[in-house]
Amino acid sequence: MGAFPKSIHFIGTNTPRRVEMSVRNLEVEGEIPAEIDGAFFRAVPDNANAPMFEDDIALNADGMVARFNITGNQVDYDIKYVETERYLAEKEARRALFGQYRNPFTDDPSVKGKDRTLANTTPVWHGGRLFMTKEDGRGYEVNPHTLETIGAWDYFGALKSETFTAHPRIDDETGEMFFFGYEADGLCSLEVAYGIADKDGKLTSEQWFKQPYCSTIHDFCITEKYAIFPIYPTTADIDRLKEGGAHWAHQQDLECWVGIMPRYGKVEEMRWFKGPKGVSAFHFINAFDDGELVHMDVCLSDTNAFQFMREAGGVERHQMDVKGALTRWTFDMSKPGDSFESRDLGPPGDLPRLPDADQGRPYRRAWYLSMNPEGGPPMPGGPVGANFNAIIRIEPGNGRISMMGVPPGAGVSEPAFVPSADPENGGWLLSVVDQPNGPDPSNYLSELWVMEADNVEKGPIAKVKLNMPLRSQVHGTWVARAKLDTSVQKA
Ligand code: V55
Ligand code: FE
């Protein structure tokens, strides 16, 4: 195929842009507080080549690593492809060689056995290194100063898992990173690897366990005591893959499971709790424990949020009819049995953000994206094909909610949180906002907005103008200047 399809995966904010660039001294409206000093890294899937198949999806696009480098009112922007094995093979061939999303049986025979990962989901900073991650493979290390790709990361040969999650959790106090990889030893395997890397980025532990069925484990949680692995009924099947079918199919009639083990314990200590049928979640705000009770705050929906995963499972549901709520699941570790409590905490939404310091601990506030009912129809694009149009701030302890809507027809992407050293100051959020620029949904202007994290309803205090459209990101991460200065890779 020489041209891009016109599906929701390639229009609106999913319109391929494909440009590596560097822009210095972006236009800034308003004042960016001087304390905002560092880099906002973003993972942007953007096809380097037109796809092999007409029904290709946005999650199957090459990873680009983007960076807003901010020092006061001076902002530079850079974006570059992650040079995965897959990207380099296709660059040489000058066309797509890898076929359907996570199905190697649809690839050109010339790339058999090559690394298929796209490193397109989350930038992760740990142990002085920057990684671009996607759950179907190992992370790729990227130089945070030049954005050049260094290579696939295996902890100096120590990592056994072939996969590494796009959602590791870092305990801010100990500096340890807790992570997992599912399908750890191959396609449709039940094996899940659970690993810990110490604050210096050395692998200190890797244990494997089996999940109840082969599900997409997109995110997990830690508390001070526990590691929590939620399993939702979107499953993989090797025979379907061999027939050229979808990797994932949602099974509305299958129950979900949550595995909880001591975070420094043995996988043999895993306790399995059984939950409702057919529900789905990709992200969790946080979890915490008081010794016996374990609370986990889930961006829950009543079916899978991705149309292509519903369709493959025969679930007929329009995108706007997917229902959900921010939901607290509470597990009593002092009692036997496999049941748990559930209650609503807040409006439906996804792409949550928590201050790094609160990871795994009781927390006062967090943010996530949602739909403002007064915001008009959503802007097409983003991972699920429809963008969010509001940022919600929630205090989970008392249910207090405030909201920032973006202008009608605009879309907002996952915010990054920038803490302040001043305990009286609640810090800031950074978020890319895409605003329509005429009737064509592929024509819009992208801006980086700066908000006071505790006063989101005030709207932006500064706007950084790109004066052009950027393709949708998935996740991002904020890295303060002091951390960047300690990086292993030099400029
Ligand atoms: C997600 C994103 C992915 C993926 C699986 O946002 C799940 C969820 C960008 O790639 O492969
Ligand atoms: Fe994610």
Which atom of ligand 1 lies closest to the CA of 475? 6
Which atom of ligand 1 lies closest to the CA of 135? 11
Question: Are 63 and 458 contacting, i.e. CB atoms less than 8 angstroms apart?
Answer: no
The pLDDT tens digits of the residues spanning 161-187 come to 999 999 999 999 999 999 999 999 999
The pLDDT tens digits of the residues spanning 74-122 come to 999 999 999 999 999 999 999 999 999 999 999 999 999 999 999 999 9
In the structure encoding, which two tokens stand for residue 454, read together? Answer: 């505790």
Q: Does 134 sit in the ligand 1 pocket, CB within 6 Å? A: yes
pLDDT at 373: 86
Q: Does 118 sit in the ligand 1 pocket, CB within 6 Å? A: no
Q: Which residue has the tokens 């306790």?
A: 271
Average pLDDT, the chain: 97
**Of the bound ligands, which one is closest to the alpha carbon of residue 137?**
1
Q: Considering only CA atoms, which residue is closest to atom 11 of ligand 1? A: 59
Q: Residues 433, 439, 441, CA angle at the centre, nearest 5°?
A: 50
Testing ligand 1's pocket by substitution, the residue of 65, 101, 135 carrying the most ligand atoms inside 8 A of its CB is: 135
pLDDT at 199: 98
Number of other residues whose CB lies within 10 A of the CB of residue 481? 13
CA-closest candidate to residue 260, choices 181, 192, 165, 331: 331
Q: Does 473 sit in the ligand 1 pocket, CB within 6 Å? A: no
Mean pLDDT within 449-458: 98
Q: Considering only CA atoms, which residue is closest to atom 4 of ligand 1? A: 59
Distance CA 299, CA 209 (A): 25
> What is the fold, at CATH topology level, of the domain defined by 8-485?
Methylamine Dehydrogenase; Chain H (2.130.10)
pLDDT at 72: 83
Question: Are 38 and 68 contacting, i.e. CB atoms less than 8 angstroms apart?
Answer: no
Mean pLDDT within 222-228: 98
- Is pLDDT of 1 > 80? no
pLDDT at 351: 98
Domain borders along the chain are 8-485
pLDDT at 2: 87
- Is pLDDT of 286 > 80? yes
pLDDT at 210: 98
Q: For the ranges 42-46, 160-164, 188-192, 438-442, which has the lowest average pLDDT?
A: 438-442
Number of other residues whose CB lies within 10 A of the CB of residue 482? 9
Please give the backbone phi and psi of residue 375, each rounded to the nearest 5 degrees, phi first.
Answer: -85, 0
**Residue numbers belonging to the annotated binding site for Fe cation:** 167, 218, 283, 475
pLDDT at 125: 98
**β-sheet with 400-405: strand ranges across:** 350-353, 366-370, 390-395, 400-405
CA distances (Å), 474 to each of 244, 416, 445, in order? 26, 12, 18
Question: Residue 243 C-alpha to ligand 1 middle, in angstroms?
Answer: 23
pLDDT at 36: 98
CA distances (Å), 484 to each of 145, 234, 359, 428, in order? 8, 38, 21, 19
In the structure encoding, which two tokens stand for residue 389, read together? Answer: 């149009």
Kindly give, in sequence order, each residue whose CB lies less than 8 Å from that of residue 72, ignoring residues fewer than 6 positions away: 32, 33, 34, 36, 37
- Is pLDDT of 49 > 80? yes
Q: Does 383 sit in the ligand 1 pocket, CB within 6 Å? A: yes
pLDDT-derived band of residue 390, with 50, 70 and 90 as boundaries?
very high
Is the backbone of residue 127 left (phi > 0), alpha (psi -120 to 50) or beta?
left
- Is pLDDT of 306 > 80? yes
pTM (two decimals): 0.98
pLDDT-derived band of residue 211, with 50, 70 and 90 as boundaries?
very high
Which atom of ligand 1 lies closest to the CA of 102? 11
**Of the bound ligands, which one is closest to the alpha carbon of residue 60?**
1
Burial 284-313 (b: 16+ CB within 10 A, else e): bbbbbbeeeebbbbbbbbbbbbbbbbbbbb
Q: Say what percent of the chain tops pLDDT 90.
A: 98
